[in-house]
Amino acid sequence: MKVLWLFAHPERRSLGGALRDEGLRALDDLGHDHRQSDLYAMGWNPVVSGADFGHDPAERLVVGEASRRAWESGRLSADVRAEQDKLAWADTLVVQFPLWWYGMPAILKGWFDRVFVKGFAYGVTDPARPGRSLRYGEGRLAGKRAMVVVTAGARESSLGPRGINGDIGELLFPLQHGTLWYTGMSVVAPLVVPGADRAGDADFAEYAARLRNRLRTLETEAPVAFRHQNRGDYDDDLVLRPHLAPGRRGLGVHRAE
């Protein structure tokens, strides 16, 4: 594999930092290539602005169109292009972060906001069928795999299917389905590390071993069965057809059982 490891933690001497180190060592041991974007270490700027696109501040900024023009003409800012080049190189993306307010730290959210510009990651249509959007299982990033590694302070039960904090798979839906799958990537099950604030050496050893095991099978394990946009599951209003997950609603219906 060629793995891009995206890491967003302000402290490398943390459980998350130790797991990142362990993961990169495991990839070395398995003979895989890897590159890293350690966003805090890089001083990554997460804020989308017209400056990303060489936009004239006197003109009204429409982010999607400005980003597409900048991407097509090679005028995107250099830090964004460098990240796109890393992702283009990779066949596998690992996204590792501590769960803050049930989502990604801002520095990581802004990696997707700035790097996944129109034309590069979305707004792509099928050249053979111009009206057909290539997304949710198709798109420019199709063929790549992605895995989320998330550390959380909450205990495991509270992130379960009926846990008070919300099912972790559904909390991750905007990232796993709305971003990674949207752009065509195959998403495997996340590695969730609960109780991270109280983890001791034995907990670290357990999760380090789980991470090694996951990396060993990452290339071949079956991805999450999110539904494809263009295989007949959705109607012309992009609503799931009634015979699928009949009578159900909510984020879970977009995953085939």
Distance in Å, CB of 146 to a copy of itself, minimum: 14
Q: Assess contact for 144 and 113: CB atoms under 8 A.
A: no
119 binds a copy of itself (CB under 8 A): no
Signed CA dihedral, 107, 218, 210, 180: sign only? positive
The interface region with a copy of itself, picked from 30-38, 187-195, 201-209, 246-254 by CB under 8 A, is 246-254
Distance in Å, CB of 21 to a copy of itself, minimum: 15
| Tokens at 88, concatenated | 């283009």
Residues 47-106 within binding reach of a copy of itself (CB under 8 A): 47-50, 60-64, 98, 100-106
Residue with tokens 């992130």: 159
DSSP 152: -
Please say which residue, 60 or 74, places its beta carbon nearer to a copy of itself.
60
- Provide the 3-class DSSP secondary structure of residue 233: coil
Q: Which of 1, 36, 40, 84 binds a copy of itself (CB under 8 A)?
A: 40
Helix (H) or strand (E) holding 84: helix 78-89
53/69 Cα distance (integer angstroms):
8
Q: Which of 157, 206, 209, 232 binds a copy of itself (CB under 8 A)?
A: 157
Judged on CB neighbours under 10 Å (0-12, 13-18, 19+), 12 is middle
Residue with tokens 């460098």: 82
| Tokens at 104, concatenated | 């990604």
203 binds a copy of itself (CB under 8 A): no
204 binds a copy of itself (CB under 8 A): no
199/13 Cα distance (integer angstroms):
13
Please say which residue, 10 or 143, places its beta carbon nearer to a copy of itself.
10
Residues of this chain that bind a copy of itself (CB under 8 A): 10-11, 13-14, 40, 46-50, 60-64, 98, 100-107, 109-110, 112-113, 116, 136, 153, 155, 157-158, 160-167, 170-171, 173-175, 177-179, 182, 197, 227, 229, 234, 237-240, 245, 248-254
